[in-house]
Amino acid sequence: CPFSAETESEPDAYGAITAARLGAGHVAVAWSGIGLTQNYGGSTEGLMGERYARTIGTEDTAWSFEDAPDVVVVLLGTNDFWNGDPGTAFADAMDTFVQQVRTRRPSATIVLATSPMIGGENHARHRGYLQTAIDRAASRGDARVFLAEVPTGTNTGCDYHPSVAGHEAVADVVTARIREVMGW
């Protein structure tokens, strides 16, 4: 089946599942096909770093960032890797994004999750780039950025996107990692 709005369900996605398991509130900043260095298909217009600060991704209205979440989970990279390894530009972009999140969420713990859709050698590269961003944050004195290693290639649905069972598997890892780093 083709991936489309009819095959997506945010309440069945890993973020909502994780929040429910933790008894937490939940806000998703998500846009299909958007990356940090490039979007699916290669476009570099409207990347997540730009859209993150907006109330609606296609409009210039700024998000207030008045809420103060305990945790921010970032799972980005699938679209950056759509045509192979984007190189260290991805690590640089993730580092910049972590700084952007930290500026707006100074008290939050940040969890960077590997993508369940990036397999093989690129999964290791993706993990390495995330670790580079974590190490850079630590070198700036920010010890509240962590990695969550998500399994790849299982429980897929339309166009290789995670099925509900796949999202539950991602939520298993993310929930456990949040509990570990937060002491919950």
- Residue 75: give its domain's CATH number: 3.40.50.1110
Strand partners, 62: 54
Counting the structural domains of the chain, the total is 1
Give me the domain span that covers residue 111. 5-182
CA torsion angle 82 77 172 179 (round to 10):
170
Indicate whether 109 pLDDT > 90.
yes
Tokens (6 digits) for 178: 């949040």
Mean pLDDT of all residues in 91-119: 97
| Predicted structure pTM score | 0.93
Query: What residues contact residue 159 under an 8 Å CB cut-off, 6+ apart?
Result: 1, 2, 3
User: What is the model's pLDDT at position 9?
Assistant: 82
Q: How far apart are CA 106 and CA 129, in angstroms?
A: 22
User: What is the model's pLDDT at position 13?
Assistant: 92
Tokens (6 digits) for 180: 């570990």
Tokens (6 digits) for 65: 């960032």
User: What is the model's pLDDT at position 72?
Assistant: 98
